[in-house]
């Protein structure tokens, strides 16, 4: 599955530093707005300890983790919804991602200019939210103009669509993001073709200084309080620390460095996992001597859909799935012994794939 998270934020909040740490692709990081002009795309491995377990059991020729794409999108300024700065490009790029990683500056550093003249994470968040809301309102108004006449003529479908559009318009007009509206399925259908920016799921990344990574600070607390009603996750990261971690090639040295800051893992690993969960994704595995591989699917998918991620023929000609649970693989060591113990399940088309399933598909085309 091609999944993309867009990293957004005002200029000089640490977006490109964060992206550089996430990815082998290197965005230019500089102390001035718009140093990232074209979106930079990095393919990021999703950390998963279960792959290592399977590798030790199966001894494959190669191991293929699942991946996500992170896109570093050009910095936004006030007025972007009207084309200010790189606004039109910025907003168009957001439409192409599945989720938004909103980086908010929660550190004070006189050497790094803040475009608004001072550090205020609530103000920063609201600037971007407002621009996205204004763009969404523009999209909704255009559709209302098309639907309204048909609705007034008495068309039942158009009347429902018009009512749904009005709900979103009122909500956005009150300064709230579309994702926070308690909408029904028919409301969602009314705006599905608009690709609303503020309906996309979001994670807020609080970029703190090194001293605040464990204790937090007043900027972080202000941001957490401000996003409470959105029920959105706030991931605390020090982009400066992550940039240093990215330079380590030796795992033991990396762990020692993390230990100096009282950290068990990098903030980036937390962010990647949080992004994965935000998009309601799970992983299943295929395991053989040629390859152990992780596959990304949506939670709730049935076996034929999961098979289709490998190849469309697998879904079209699906017969059954042979399913092993990882604890059983760990206990019995080989597929032969797992079968002997009766621990390999044969599942049909209605089987809902579970996170961590090890699967082999039988199909006929």
Is position 55 within any domain?
no
Mean pLDDT along residues 60-84: 75
Is position 304 within any domain?
yes
Is position 308 within any domain?
yes
Give residue 1's pLDDT.
62
List, edge to edge, every strand of the sheet that includes 202-207: 40-45, 67-72, 4-8, 99-105, 202-207, 233-237
- Write the pLDDT tens digit of every residue in 86-103: 445 667 788 889 999 999
Residues flagged as binding site = 12-17
Residues flagged as binding site for ATP = 12-17
Is position 253 within any domain?
no
- What does pLDDT average to over the chain? 87
Is position 279 within any domain?
no
User: Rounded to the nearest 10 degrees, what angle do helices 121-152 and 218-226 cross at?
Assistant: 20
pLDDT surpassing 50 at residue 29: no
Last residue of a domain, one of 138, 161, 194: 194
Least confident of 67-71, 111-115, 251-255: 111-115
Give residue 76's pLDDT.
60
Give the Cβ contact number of residue 83 at 10 Å.
Answer: 11
Q: Are the CB atoms for 297 and 309 separated by under 8 Å?
A: yes
Give the range of the structural domain holding residue 144, as residue numbers without chain letter: 128-194
Is position 285 within any domain?
no
Work out whether strand 358-363 and strand 318-324 pair parallel, antiparallel, or are unpaired.
Answer: antiparallel
Q: d(Cα 208, Cα 236) in Å, to the nearest integer?
A: 7
Residue with tokens 């998963």: 48
Give residue 34's pLDDT.
35
Number of domains making up the chain:
2
Give residue 223's pLDDT.
95
Give residue 364's pLDDT.
92
Last residue of a domain, one of 142, 176, 194: 194
pLDDT surpassing 80 at residue 348: yes
Q: What is the pLDDT confidence band of residue 116, given thresholds at 50, 70 and 90?
A: low
> Domain of 145: which CATH number?
1.10.150.300
Give the Cβ contact number of residue 270 at 10 Å.
Answer: 18
> Domain of 350: which CATH number?
3.10.20.30
Q: What is the pLDDT confidence band of residue 144, given thresholds at 50, 70 and 90?
A: very high
Mean pLDDT along residues 22-34: 47
- Write the pLDDT tens digit of every residue in 318-333: 999 999 999 999 999 9
Considering 131-135, 227-231, 253-257, 288-292, the range whose residues carry the highest mean pLDDT is: 288-292
List, edge to edge, every strand of the sheet that includes 62-64: 62-64, 291-298, 281-287, 358-363, 318-324, 345-347
Check residues 308 and 277 and name the one with the higher pLDDT: 308
Q: What is the pLDDT confidence band of residue 230, given thresholds at 50, 70 and 90?
A: confident
Last residue of a domain, one of 194, 219, 247: 194
Is position 323 within any domain?
yes
Give residue 33's pLDDT.
38
Is position 312 within any domain?
yes
Mean pLDDT along residues 47-57: 94
């Amino acid at each position: 599955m091609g999944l993309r998270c867009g990293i957004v934020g005002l200029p000089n909040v640490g977006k490109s530093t964060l992206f550089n740490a996430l990815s082998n692709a290197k965005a230019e990081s500089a102390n001035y707005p718009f140093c990232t002009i074209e979106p930079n795309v990095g393919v990021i491995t999703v950390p998963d300890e279960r792959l290592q377990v399977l590798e030790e059991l199966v001894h494959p020729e190669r191991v293929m983790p699942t991946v996500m794409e992170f896109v570093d999108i050009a910095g936004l300024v006030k007025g972007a919804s009207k084309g200010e700065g790189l606004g039109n490009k910025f907003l168009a790029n957001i439409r192409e991602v599945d989720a938004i990683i909103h980086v908010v500056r929660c550190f004070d550093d006189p050497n790094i200019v803040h475009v608004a003249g001072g550090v205020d994470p609530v103000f920063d968040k609201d600037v971007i939210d407002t621009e996205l809301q204004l763009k969404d309102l523009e999209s909704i108004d255009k559709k209302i103009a098309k639907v309204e006449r048909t609705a007034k003529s008495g068309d039942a479908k158009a009347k429902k669509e018009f009512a749904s559009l009005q709900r979103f318009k009122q909500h956005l007009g009150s300064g709230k993001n579309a994702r926070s509206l308690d909408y029904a399925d028919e409301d969602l259908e009314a705006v599905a073709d608009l690709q609303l920016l503020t309906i996309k799921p979001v994670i807020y990344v609080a970029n703190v200084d090194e001293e605040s990574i464990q204790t937090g600070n007043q900027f972080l607390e202000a941001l957490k309080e401000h996003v409470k009603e959105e029920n959105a996750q706030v991931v605390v990261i020090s982009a400066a620390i992550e940039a240093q971690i990215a330079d380590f090639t030796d795992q033991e040295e990396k762990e020692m460095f993390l230990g100096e800051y009282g950290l068990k893992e990098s903030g980036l690993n937390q962010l990647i996992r949080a992004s994965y969960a935000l998009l309601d994704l799970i992983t299943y595995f295929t395991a053989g001597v040629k390859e152990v591989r992780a596959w990304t699917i949506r939670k709730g998918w049935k076996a034929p859909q999961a098979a289709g991620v490998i190849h469309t023929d697998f879904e079209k000609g699906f017969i059954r799935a042979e399913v092993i649970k990882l604890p059983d693989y760990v206990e019995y060591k080989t597929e032969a012994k797992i079968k002997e113990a009766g621990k390999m399940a044969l599942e049909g088309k209605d089987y809902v794939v579970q996170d961590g399933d090890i699967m082999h598909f039988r199909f006929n085309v």
